[in-house]
Structure 1
Amino acid sequence: MKLKLLIYTFLLLLPQLLIAQNTLQGYVVDANTALPLEGVTVTANTGAQAITNTEGYFFLNPTGETQYINFNLIGYKAQRVALPANGSEIRVLLQPDAAQLKEVVITGYETNRPLLQTAGAISIVDRASIERFDESSLVRAVNTVPGVRMEERAPASYRLSIRGSSLRSPYGIRNVKVYFDGIPFTEANGTTALNLLDASNIGSIEILKGPTGSIYGAGTGGTVLLEPRRAAAGEKSVQLGATTGSYGFRKYTATVSAGSDNSSVLVQYTKQQYDGYREQSAVDRDVLLISSEFTPSEKRTINANIIYSDLYYELPGGLTQEQYDENPRQARGGMFGSVKQNASISLEGINVGLKQEYRFSDNLHNTTAVYGLHKFKDNPFNTDYERNTNQEYGARSSFAYNTNLGSISSTFTLGGEFQRGFEAARTYDNNSGTPGNLRTDDEVVAKTGFLFAQAEFELPAEIIATAALSLNDTKYEITRLQQVGSGNYKYNRDFEAVLSPRVALLKRLSDKISAHASISSGFSPPTEEEILTSDGTLNEDLEAEKGINYEAGIRGFAGKLSFDVVGFYFRLKETIISRQDVSSVAVFRNVGSTSQKGLELSAAYTLLDQPAQQLSNVKVWGSYTYSHFRFKDYQKDEEDLSGNKLTGVAPHVAAAGLDFATRFGLYINLTSNYVDELPLNDENTVFADRYFILGARAGIKRNLGSKFVLEVFGGVDNITDKKYSLGNDLNAFGGRFFQPAPDRNYYGGVNLSYKL
């Protein structure tokens, strides 16, 4: 069925792909590396415009008055080229610009300003960072930025932590709001199935750290904005890719894309399989992405996305220290062992989103998005069997108005968001991987929404001031249809609406350096999985977390150096923590407050920039995170844990890389990661060892004539063959804390693009 759908989509696009046009064509490459550049804006002196595709090619309809063409791309120096008299193909070499940080445009906070004009702790994971690795997941790419840790308890079982937010995330993603193309991807019940996406689907990631409730609703951890892959204007191509690696890793990608000046359609199918480093850790994932954008008029732009996912992955379970030392490749054993009980998760879902931006005038525009999703989950666990079905819809809309208050340029933003989800949740006995007697049968309705307003002012002395406020509300309605030994009943939980303000100031110290400071508050209600645990127990006393964040930073560039430094102090009240009971089910409770102080640093320096030499470009980069996170007012039974280190947070984390490129198209990327020892339980009696790992990828990417682009690559992860645990089980019962990561492993692959 999936293959037929892909073929039908290709056939629909084929007529458009084959239309011949009388156009001027050429291609644009990096002057240092000779690699194709995607997304270059190509503008003739007459105003005709095009965008280069993934192979660097552009197609422009010239007129008789066309004399020259301008080429512009963020991070590169603009270039003007005279129109060739003979109509031959144009080859353009763009020089990298050291002022790249100044031009990166931030979509978060609804500002669409360059990074140097945005007040806030923000990290960008671009497409190049994702492609540094084998694209089996986003984990290693995300872990190159400061203040953020992404972990895998098992392949395809992700945990995302922003400034310690993994404290309440035994599995999955909590306390972090995720959007895909501006549309909510985090569900109304507070959970995020990030594993339904493939790394190849993502064009870029924008990470806003700390409370951002003034714009994105409830959440004290942060916000992640995912941008999908898109077809560039003038792009008409078919791309095929294949990667294979250690422990049975296989990945196949097929992409068809077609773009013009006012429309783009990209259809991508990915298939990923993995036999697993450990017992009971196989993965099988299929993802179909349809990403499109249309501009039917000068006033209207419409985006439409469809994501269909079919995912199966196994859960090997946590190991004790003795088991970890004896054989890290084993799965959890015993009477309720992972292999015996077929501990695994099957997820099948479809997510459909539609977004429109309408420009009423130069000063007023509206962005409105609607979405719907359907998801089915089948989860045999070590001690029970869970089967859920989710249906959800939601909408988000915002108006932005630009005006002048005297001599002060101002922007006012007003909007809201609403989500409603319905879940049919059933738990059974697990009889060696098959459902047994029914334990509980629940219907859960989750409703969440917020209204927000923001004002931004460009003050004298190059100061930008921002004030924002949101009103957040969340409600759960749980109807228990059946429970062994108990009657039917209803449970409603309506969390009190909370105001979340944010105030920020930014000062331009020069055209290359800016400083910023902000104060913001956050509100994070429990997720449905925290109130209704997997064994069917209702946690009726759980309260929402509330916190306030103070932050200051400086960023900029000087010649070949770019840098970004942020310091923060975050105080969280009614902190939610997780612990495992005897059946390994995670249970949650409020434990007072935490004090979280930290420093985040990132920098990059270009060591060599000589396009004429064979070794044309050498760049070094790095990031560092310092976390002084402590529990406050934490009383556990008779034991006072106040002052203990925050569970699951390493005090020191660093990443660094070294990149080489040649004129011929050969490249080498070296990446290193260091994680300090971290506490695995609230008592701070068990710690995970510190580790340092290295990875490398090398390849060559070349144009083969005017139609083909070929890339051949290979890589190795964990070169040091370090034994470490990535995605530890916090406060695990029976000492099963450790989820071992693979030892030294290899991969290689090929990507082929054909221009139609």
Structure 2
Amino acid sequence: MKYYAITALILGICSINLQAQEENLEPVLDSTALPQVILKGTSIQAELKQTPAAVNQLQQEELNRNSPTLLSASFNRVPGVYTQEGALNTNRITIRGIGARAQYGTNRLKAYFNEIPITTGDGQTAINDIDLEAIESVEIIKGPNSSLYGSGLGGVLHLFAYEPGKERSFAKISSSFGSYQMQKNTLSVGYTDEKKSLFATYNHLQSEGYRDNSDYDRKSFHFNGTIYSGEHSALSFLGNFTRLKAFIPSSIGKTAFEENPESAAFTWRSAQGYESYDRFVMGLSYTQHFTENFENTTSVFINSRDAYEPRPFDILKENSFGLGARTRFNYSTKLFSFPAEASLGAEFLSENYDGSNYENLYEDFPDQGSVRGNQITNFEQDRNYYNLFAQLNLQVLPKLKLVGGLNANVTDYSLTDFYAEDDIDQTGDYQFETIWSPRVAALYELTSTKNLYVNVSKGFSTPTVDETLTPQGLINTTLKPEIGWNYEVGFKGNWFKNLYSEIAIYSIQVNDLLVAERVAEDQYVGANAGKTDHNGIEVLLKYNWQLSPKISLQPYASANFNFYKFDEFVDEGEDYSGNDLTGVPDQKINLGIDLVTESGFRFFSNALFVSEIPLNDANSLFSENYQLINLKAAYDFKLFQDFEINLNVGVNNLLDEHYAVSILPNAVGFGNSEPRYYYPGNDRNFYGGVGVKYLF
């Protein structure tokens, strides 16, 4: 119960200062006030407190409180979001328990980079390809929000590219180093004037990893910019290229997890399994203000991925290419004398996927790793995604705002089988029924700094490529998208300017739950198997305590308490109705205190507490709860007038906790092997870095 004591300490600090202010009845200085947060990812831009939905924003400084290796490392600070990092290239992001049953990656949510979707046509999202240096902020919209964004039952991740803005042009070089032979080198340049803002960065990240067979090598190049044409139009562009080769240790059984957590799964180590790919995303966006009240933003984009993945059971070669467009019109007017803002738009994505599987003959060639044998499958899948959306914000009373939204989605795909050496023809076409996703919400202003909201919305997620195939490799035409309804009430508000608080109480009912049925070791197919109830409470507190004009202390606390259950769930004849949802903890608490000084010194502390996690649908096995403490110190100073120096050093897992950073739900043991449920977390590890920035 350590985390309850620490939570009480944080709340006690806030309470003492609030009581002092109430007794003195003196106004708080502006220097202690929390800044106004404007959301960019919502269809109609609004202040965070004025948005009737559960949305959290992470600014660049918050994203850089951790080690420089992973963008998603900061997401656990957000209540309702749980990130599991099996390795630098293996992560699972769940929002309100949605996506917890994914086997190896992140699905059931939608992700955008500026106005460009980076989620694939079948719902897979990989954001750690994008380096931290390229990101200015992240906005996380929690819960079903398909009325604006289409497929993404869990929620939406909005990444926003770094822009120099009003900052002077610069060149920056930095190096980071750490445990497991981690090294990262980065070069960034930025240019800005009255008509344009340009930014580019290149980085190379290498690590040998904590575990066997976990070497990681990533090179990425990113560029973005905005060119302004007068006062009423702007052209923005963005590109991101990643070349990755990452070996895969995979999950291990309980004995290895307890006695030798640095080990890799035997078959993956023997095959020297890895994934390697080149990935490219590029897009153009044009914004035109026709009048003061009417504007349009239109984006066109392409993405491609060329991948090769030797696995113990086969070798997968795949290539995907997608192109699409998104347009959005915003109009401000008066409707029946009420101030109104409307947004109307459309999104289209067409994606072609080619996949080939080959025999892996590593057992015939000992100590040589994977050796490609005969081809065993060769197919092509085309997926088209059409999305129409509309939203209306209506200020019906000075203190009451109503929001309504509606989305229509059509998803279809076709499969072409090019492999003629078997008796199975997988060729076929399928289209999901049109899905209508409404949303209604209301926000009431209790005071000028405190708001209460209610939100009812519908969401959905379509099956992935693997889930659409039967064990025989045919298209499963009976498979349905997951559908969920979200009911939510929440509060957002400032107290005495320097304490910000949020609380959200929600209930999500998911129908046609997609589950992974295992057909062989590390292989599975999808099936609709029942219903789940996702009920929970989320709390967020941020406090700004000005110790002196030049020093501030910023404690924060976030927590979520989940009550996720299988409502109706029968899988392969077993009834799991009433059991806890697999793969997600029922409690997650995040606490910390940051020290910020005007001299440039900053100190960040963070404690993460995660409760036990059900490992299987029967709830017969659970992972143990764990606590992590991470610390980081940074110092920024000027060496000369135009030279800025950054120094930083940090430690993760300060207490050297032994824990499972990720789990594989419903693992099955084959032969005499144990079920491989566990991805061991890193032991105590250190990192540091230095950066030099020259201002032109």
Question: TM-score by structure 2 length?
Answer: 0.92
**Aligned with residue 682 of structure 2, among 742, 747, 756:** 742
Q: Establish whether residue 561 from structure 1 lines up as the match of residue 561 from structure 2.
A: no
2-structure distance, mates of 1:416, 1:699? 44
CA contact 1:476–1:528 (8 Å) conserved in 2 = no
Q: CA 1:192 to 1:136, structure 2 compared with 1: closer, same or farther past 3 Å?
A: same
CA distance, structure 1, for counterparts of residue 87 and residue 428 of structure 2: 34
Matched, 1:646 2:581: yes
Query: Does residue 304 of structure 1 match 2:241?
Result: no
Aligned equivalent of 2:443, options 484, 506, 509? 506
Question: What amino acid maps onto 1:467 in structure 2?
Answer: G
What letter matches 1:544 in structure 2? P
CA deviations over 1:23-46 (Å, ceiling 9, x no partner): xxxxxxxxxxxxxxxxxxxxxxxx
In structure 2, C-alpha distance between the alignment counterparts of 1:732 and 1:135, rounded to whole Å: 32
Report matched runs for 1:212-251 at 5 Å. 212-251=145-184
Counterpart of 1:384 in structure 2 is: 314
Contact 2:466 2:525 in 1 (8 A): no
The answer to whether the aligner puts 1:361 opposite 2:299 as a matched pair is: no
Q: Which moved more, 1:625-634 or 1:527-536?
A: 527-536
Letter in 2 for 1:548: W
Asked if the contact 1:189–1:421 (Cα under 8 Å) also holds between the matched residues in 2, the reply is no
Q: Is residue 2:104 matched to residue 1:164?
A: no
* Shift in CA distance, 250/280, structure 1 to aligned 2, threshold 3 Å: same
Q: Which runs of 5+ in 1 are unaligned?
A: 1-93
1:593 to 531, 537, 541: 531
> 1:534 and 1:224 mapped to 2: Cα distance?
33
Letter in 1 for 2:183: R
Contact kept in structure 1, 2:101 and 2:582, CA below 8 Å: no
Deviation by residue 1:485-540 (Cα, 9 ceiling, x = unmatched) = 32444121200001000000001111111111010011211122321489956544
Residue equivalent to 1:714: 649
After alignment, is 379-388 or 696-705 more displaced? 696-705
Q: Do the aligned partners of 2:516 and 2:524 also contact (CA within 8 Å) in 1? A: yes
User: What pairs with 1:285-434 in structure 2 (closer than 5 Å)?
Assistant: 285-333=218-266, 337-432=267-362, 433-434=370-371
Q: CA contact under 8 A between 2:325 and 2:347: conserved in structure 1?
A: yes
Question: Which of 670, 679, 698 is residue 614 of structure 2 equivalent to?
Answer: 679
Letter in 2 for 1:361: T
**SS of the residue aligned with 1:128?**
helix
Q: Which amino acid aligns with 2:273?
A: A
Partners in 2 of 1:592 and 1:217 — Cα distance?
Answer: 22
Residue 485 (structure 2) pairs with residue 548 (structure 1): yes
Secondary structure of the 2:236 match is strand
Query: Residue type of the partner of 1:167?
Result: A
Residues 166, 648 of structure 1: 8 Å contact kept: no
For the residues of structure 2 that align with 1:345 and 1:536, how far apart are their CA atoms? Answer: 23
Say yes or no: does 1:464 pair with 2:394. no
Residue-by-residue CA offset, 1:668-718 (whole Å, 9 max, x unaligned)? 111110000010111111111100010100121112232111111100000
Aligned mates of 1:114, 1:722 — CA distance in 2: 40
- Give 2:456's match in structure 1, choosing from 499, 509, 519: 519
Matched residue, 2:6: none
The answer to whether the 8 Å contact 2:71/2:128 transfers is: no
Which amino acid counterpart does residue 658 of structure 1 have in structure 2?
A: I
The match for 2:108 is 175
Q: CA deviation at 1:587?
A: 2.5
Q: How big is each residue's C-alpha offset from its partner over 1:536-556, in whole Å with a ceiling of 9 and x where there is no partner?
A: 565443211111110010011
Label 1:733 to 1:535 Cα distance change in 2 as closer, same or farther (>3 A).
farther
1:107-186 equivalences in 2 (<5 Å): 107-186=40-119
Equivalent-residue separation in structure 2 for 1:105 and 1:234 (angstroms): 20
- Report what 1:47 is aligned to: none
Over 3 Å counting, the alpha-carbon distance change for 1:739 and 1:489 in structure 2 is: closer
Q: Which amino acid in 1 is paired with 2:44?
A: T
- Tell me, yes or no, if the aligned pair for 2:107 and 2:123 is still in contact at 8 Å: yes
With normalisation by structure 1, the TM-score equals 0.85
The answer to whether the 8 A contact 1:398-1:414 is kept is yes
Shift of 1:736: 0.3
Aligned partners of 2:167 and 2:81: how far apart in 1? 36
Distance 1:406 1:489 in 2: 56
Contact conserved, 1:234 with 1:260, CA < 8 A, in 2? Answer: no
1:729 aligns with 2:667: no
**1:339 partner SS:** helix
Aligned mates of 2:598, 2:142 — CA distance in 1:
38
What is the aligned partner in structure 2 of residue 689 from structure 1?
624
Aligned to 1:634: 569
Equivalent of residue 494 in structure 1, options 423, 431, 449: 431
In the other structure, the counterpart of 2:391 is 454
Bigger mean CA offset, 631-640 vs 432-441: 631-640
The 1:271/1:536 distance shift into structure 2, 3 A limit, reads: farther
Change (3 A) 1:535 1:372: farther
Q: Which amino acid aligns with 1:576?
A: L
Instruction: Supply the distance in 1 between the matched residues of 2:511 and 2:577 (Cα, whole angstroms).
Output: 13
**C-alpha separation between the residues in 2 aligned to 1:534 and 1:203?**
44
**d(CA) in 2 for partners of 1:534, 1:248:** 41
What residue number does 2:513 align with?
575
Q: Which amino acid aligns with 2:312?
A: N
Equivalent residue letter for 1:606: N
The amino acid of 2:196's aligned partner reads S
Deviation at 1:407, TM superposition (A): 3.2
Give the C-alpha shift of residue 599 in structure 1. 0.6
1:473 to 410, 421, 425: 410
Residue 475 of structure 1 contacts residue 493 of structure 1 at CA under 8 Å; is this kept in 2? yes
Report whether the alignment pairs 1:205 with 2:145: no
**Distance across 2 between alignment mates of 1:669 and 1:535:** 52
Aligned match for 1:435, one of 360, 372, 377: 372
Q: Could you list the per-position Cα deviations for residues 252-283 of structure 1 after superposition, in whole angstroms to 9, with x for gaps in the alignment? A: 11001001122111010011001010001111
When residues 325 and 692 of structure 1 are mapped into structure 2, their CA distance, relative to the original with a 3 A threshold, is same
CA–CA distance in structure 1, aligned partners of residues 228 and 114 of structure 2? 16
Q: Secondary structure at the match of 2:66?
A: coil
**Number of paired residues?**
655
**Partners of 1:740 and 1:472 in 2: CA distance:** 40
Identity across matched positions, percent: 29
Deviation of 1:661 (Å): 2.7
Structure 1 residues 672 and 562, CA, compared in 2 at 3 Å: closer, same or farther? same
CA shift at 1:474, angstroms? 0.7
Superposed counterparts of 1:617-628, under 5 Å: 617-628=552-563
Q: Structure 2 CA distance, aligned partners of 1:430 and 1:704?
A: 56
CA contact (8 A) 2:637 2:645 kept: yes
Between the aligned partners of 1:504 and 1:661, the Cα distance in structure 2 is 37
Alignment-mate amino acid for residue 500 of structure 2: S
Letter in 2 for 1:751: G
Instruction: Pick closer, same or farther for the CA change 1:484–1:694 going to 2, 3 Å.
Output: farther
